[in-house]
Amino acid sequence: MNATRFGSDFIQPAGGDPVRQEDALYANVWTPSVDGGAKLPVVVYIHGGGWSRGAGSLPVYDGAALAERAGAVVVNFNYRLGAFGFSGHPALEDPTTGLHTNWGLQDQIALLHWVSDNAKAFGGDPKNITLVGTSAGGASTWQLSLLPQTRPLLRRIISISQAHVWSPYLSLTQDDATAVFDALAAAQGVSVKDLRAVPADRIRDWWVAQFAQPRHQRVVDSGRQYRGPVRDPVLLPAFDVHQPLPDIPAISVYTSTEGSFFTGPNAPEPQAPPTDGASLHAAFRDILDQGMPSVSDSTVSDAVALYTDSAKREGRPSDPLALWTELWGDALIRHDILAFTRRAAAQRRAPLYLMEYAHPVKSPYFGVPHESTSPFLFGTYAHPANVAKFGDGPKERETSAAFMDLVAEFVHGRPPASPRLPQWDPVGPDLRQLVLRDGSGTITTPTKTTQLGVLDAVQWGK
């Protein structure tokens, strides 16, 4: 094996240059230039991509700069995605573990044990592992810090823009996961057990086409936004909102406009933006409908009114595109992060640090979209694949340096700090947070919170 270049990416929706196949469960390791024999902290990063895309080989996740600046061993890896990584069926039960779902989550568990067993070979301290993840990977950091199989391996976590699954409609239920695998097998003319012999690209293509259809044409009604972790009694006994809080030192990060990832150029599933009141009402309905059995006209109208009034009162843009962008980000990401933070401030003993990442991207992109943190965490903003969107000026360099400083201090067991930033204390009842922008920071409380009231009712039943 050539261990000086990346292995294949795991099979996923078509596009891009890398080779993608099932034989792709590879880990990538970067070490800093330090004297031999050092016991360095280990940073394990879980990539995002909605549980259906992504890979450790992507240029944005190159760990060299972070390893050097943090004085840490940096590890990222691939895990099974889409139909191969999540969903599930009893006919595919592993006789050793009794598990028949969440294979991608099982890969993450196995990787953490591999790191713990082999960290010393790379100069790392197996008793000082920090788990970091963004989006779907951020949700995994949360889930893995609760599992008895992995909690003893972790010293701390950093969850960035974590995509919590809060509804049986948002992702697949176990019954619907079984039903969709039955349909997949029938379409291939085989039994579910014999799906293992079907070429992977045929399974991938059927899966993608199935969930690209209008919802009323799909085999199942759940999985409306994600096809990620499925509830099961061993690995995910409850949705995240009903799980206990992980009592472990943590940093939680969200971006100022998470939703501009879904509404801006190069959105993963491009849609025509709303331009007037009627199309805005329809767009709000589509978002709220992802997690509810049904959405009434009055609920949608109340949401539109609340978001419009909040924006006008706070002096923010209130045009249809801006409001649509806000609800996208709140419904999928920001609302749950702030709700969990409030719970943590009241219940946790371990310190939790809250950060709003506010450094904007370059035109024609806009705002501070979901996943815009990664190039600055890894110092890869100037890579040819990233620079047009993220820039390469003094403010970008300072922002990345400050972000990596915070991570470096934290993974070494110290409070997160940077000479570029004010003192950052653990969150308390007032939810004071660090806002990072242009290489500098301020301590504030979260803004745009009034509009979250509609999501309290939808997501948390308040």
Tell me 88's DSSP state.
B
In this structure, are 216 and 364 located in the same domain?
A: yes
Q: Is 316 within the bounds of a domain? A: yes
User: pLDDT by residue (tens digit) across 280-316?
Assistant: 999 999 998 887 777 889 989 999 999 999 999 999 9
**Cα 64 from Cα 48, distance rounded (Å):** 19
In this structure, are 202 and 284 located in the same domain?
A: no
pLDDT confidence of residue 458: 67
In this structure, are 235 and 316 located in the same domain?
A: no
* Number of structural domains found in the chain: 2
- The larger pLDDT score, comparing residue 234 to residue 115, is at 115
To the nearest whole percent, how much of the chain has pLDDT over 90?
A: 75
> Looking at residues 370-391, what average pLDDT do you find?
97
User: pLDDT by residue (tens digit) across 437-458?
Assistant: 999 999 999 999 999 988 887 6
In this structure, are 288 and 345 located in the same domain?
A: no
Could you tell me the CATH number of the domain that includes residue 384? 3.40.50.1820
Domain that holds residue 317: 277-326+451-460
Question: Phi and psi of 122, rounded to 5°?
Answer: -105, 10
In this structure, are 118 and 159 located in the same domain?
A: yes
pLDDT confidence of residue 462: 47
pLDDT of 17 strictly over 70: no
Half-sphere exposure at residue 441, Cβ-oriented, CA atoms within 13 angstroms: 28
Q: Is 58 within the bounds of a domain? A: yes
Q: Is 159 within the bounds of a domain? A: yes
**Cα 298 from Cα 135, distance rounded (Å):** 31
Angle, nearest 10°, between helix axes 277-288 and 297-313? Answer: 110
Q: Is 272 within the bounds of a domain? A: no
Q: Is 1 within the bounds of a domain? A: no
In this structure, are 203 and 339 located in the same domain?
A: yes
In this structure, are 397 and 320 located in the same domain?
A: no
pLDDT confidence of residue 240: 76
Strand stretches in 245-365, DSSP E: 250-255, 352-357
> Looking at residues 351-376, what average pLDDT do you find?
97
- The larger pLDDT score, comparing residue 193 to residue 245, is at 193
Q: Is 2 within the bounds of a domain? A: no
How many degrees, rounded to 5, is the angle at CA 156 between CA 155 and CA 159? 155
In this structure, are 252 and 299 located in the same domain?
A: no
pLDDT confidence of residue 225: 82
Question: Phi and psi of 419, rounded to 5°?
Answer: -60, -15
In this structure, are 432 and 300 located in the same domain?
A: no
- The larger pLDDT score, comparing residue 225 to residue 211, is at 211
In this structure, are 320 and 340 located in the same domain?
A: no
In this structure, are 204 and 319 located in the same domain?
A: no
pLDDT confidence of residue 237: 85
By CB atoms closer than 10 A (0-12, 13-18, 19+), residue 361 is: buried
Q: Is 4 within the bounds of a domain? A: no
Percent of the chain as helix, strand, coil, to the nearest 5 = 40, 15, 45
**Cα 46 from Cα 122, distance rounded (Å):** 19
**Cα 384 from Cα 59, distance rounded (Å):** 9
**Cα 120 from Cα 116, distance rounded (Å):** 8
User: pLDDT by residue (tens digit) across 37-59?
Assistant: 679 999 999 999 999 999 999 99
> Looking at residues 125-148, what average pLDDT do you find?
96
pLDDT confidence of residue 228: 87
In this structure, are 126 and 234 located in the same domain?
A: yes
Q: Is 150 within the bounds of a domain? A: yes
Average pLDDT taken over every residue of the chain: 92
The sheet carrying 250-255 orders its strands as 27-30, 73-77, 40-46, 124-134, 156-160, 250-255, 352-357, 433-437, 440-444
**Cα 67 from Cα 306, distance rounded (Å):** 44
